[in-house]
Amino acid sequence: MKIAVLPGDGIGKEIVAQAVRVLQALGESFEYEWADVGGAAYESAGHPLPEATLKLAMESDAVLFGAVGDWKYDKLERALRPEQAILGLRKNMGLFANFRPAICYEELVGASSLKPEIIAGLDILIVRELTGDIYFGQPRGRRASPDGAFAGADEAFDTMRYSRPEIERIAHVAFQAARKRGNKVASVDKANVLETFQFWKDVVTEVHEAHYVDVKLEHMYVDNAAMQLVKAPKNFDVVVTGNMFGDILSDEASMLTGSIGMLPSASLNDRKQGLYEPSHGSAPDIAGKGVANPLATILSAAMMLRFSLDKAEQADRIEAAVKKVLASGLRTPDIWSEGTTKVGTEAMGDAVVAALA
């Protein structure tokens, strides 16, 4: 089985290196192939997602991804900016199902800006549709405003859209995930304002009635969901929503834990091919200093084993090793607190490898 390793920018190289070490320590015979992506690829090949990198990703069973982006690329035209790489990979590989767990580890409750009783034991799964919605809808662009009070003025526009099969498949993913967890789905929409999300609500309801009446389904407006996540996040189990709302709510949910350096993510297509990356970004400010937390990437590698490589037991081993390391008191600076032991990126990788044994 072949894994494409795309470290990207910022802390990407350091954290991915540790995840690969952990994978190698499992004793499986995976094939690894490295390639540049994001700003690094723009530097080496003039494009954030070069042909060769895309080809490698498409041919692999899974992609282990670090992070992309750096202030220094802010002035580039949009098509050449690092984040286009991730959009291109999602679209070309058809990675429509994004899984973003927001889990609050017992030892890290104190890291949250929320009160311990609100956040302790949090375990939400955000299922975000990843290849549709206003992210990719056409037409989009700039033009003279065709109508309205400012007809003739410069304007910019985008198109939000979802087709029935796109909504159906992500709904199936969410309901099936819920069955393995708390059996509860909150479908987040804005049906009171948007045609797209009235349709979303209708289709999710139909899928539910036809196939998943055993799962508890609740519909919630996106503004209310943003509130309820702050007020009582533990009321959620699985949250399913579109690409744009999912972008906002999954980041909000992960920040609730206070330890985003711990949170992995997976993006899958219908062939179980997937892209695995930490939920956090490239953190250029601490890149190269050996202090980045590799655990989100290591846990993303565990998701990769489970979802794309059919190695659920190895995934369990990694997750258990990470828990053991946390329990032993080792912490990278982002999750450090009084009474625990501060370590760097590599030492954290060492500890996970040791805990696997």
Ligand X SMILES: CC(C)[C@H](C(=O)O)[C@@H](O)C(=O)O
Quote the Cα angle for 48-52-55, to 5°: 105
- CB environment 161-192: b (16+ within 10 A), e (fewer): ebeeebbbebbebbbebbeeeeeebbbbbbbe
Determine the 3-state secondary structure of 151 from DSSP: coil
Q: CB count, 10 Å around CB of 307?
A: 21
> Can you give the length of the chain in residues?
357
Helices (H), 212-292: 222-231, 243-257
Contacts of 126 (CB under 8 A, 6+ apart): 98, 99, 100, 101, 102, 238, 239, 241, 246, 249, 250, 253
User: What are the residues binding a second copy (CB under 8 A)?
Assistant: 78, 81, 83, 87, 94, 113-115, 118, 134-135, 137-138, 140-142, 145, 147-150, 153-166, 190, 192-200, 222-224, 226-232, 244-245, 247-252, 254-256, 258, 260
Q: Which does 71 bind (CB under 5 to 8 A by kind): ligand X, a second copy, none?
A: none
Question: Total binding residues for ligand X by CB under 6 A?
Answer: 7
157, interface contact from a second copy, ligand X, none, CB < 5-8 Å by kind: a second copy
Beta carbons of 307 and 267 less than 8 angstroms apart: no
Please tell me whether residue 192 binds ligand X under the rule CB under 6 A: yes
Catalytic residue among 135, 162, 212, 276: 135
Is residue 134 a contact residue for ligand X (CB under 6 A)? no
- 140 sits near ligand X (criterion: CB under 6 A): no
Site string for ligand X, 199-238 (x = CB under 6 A): ------------------------x---------------
CB nearer to ligand X: pick between 22 and 68: 68
Please indicate if the annotation marks 317 as binding a ligand: no
Closer of 27 and 147 to a second copy (Cβ): 147
Binding mask 69-108 for ligand X (x = CB under 6 A): --------------x--xx---------------------
Which CB, 283 or 326, lies closer to ligand X? 283
Q: How far is the CB of 264 from a second copy (least distance, A)?
A: 17
Taking residue 332's Cβ as centre, other Cβ atoms within 10 Å add up to 22
The yes-or-no answer on residue 61 being catalytic is no
Contact indicator for 171, 207 with CB cutoff of 8 Å = yes
Cβ proximity of 207 and 231 under 8 Å: no
Question: Which of a second copy, ligand X, none has residue 248 at its interface (CB below 5 to 8 Å by kind)?
Answer: a second copy
Please identify the residue of the shown chain whose CB is closest to the bound ligand X: 83
Is residue 256 a contact partner of residue 122, using CB atoms and an 8 Å limit? yes
- Of 103 and 160, nearer to a second copy (C-beta) is 160
Smallest distance, Å, CB 58 to ligand X? 19
Catalytic site residue 135? yes
Active site residue 190: yes
**DSSP 8-state assignment for residue 180:** T
Which residue in 248, 256, 332 sits closest to 296, CA to CA? 332
| Binds 114: which of ligand X, a second copy, none (CB < 5-8 Å by kind) | a second copy
Tell me which residue of 246, 217, 216 sits closest to 95, measured CA to CA.
246
Kindly list the residues in this chain that would bind ligand X in the complex (CB under 6 A): 83, 86-87, 192-193, 223, 247
What residues act catalytically?
A: 135, 190, 223, 247, 251
- Residues contributing to the annotated binding site for substrate: 90, 100, 128, 223
Annotated binding residues for Mg(2+), as ranges?
223, 247, 251
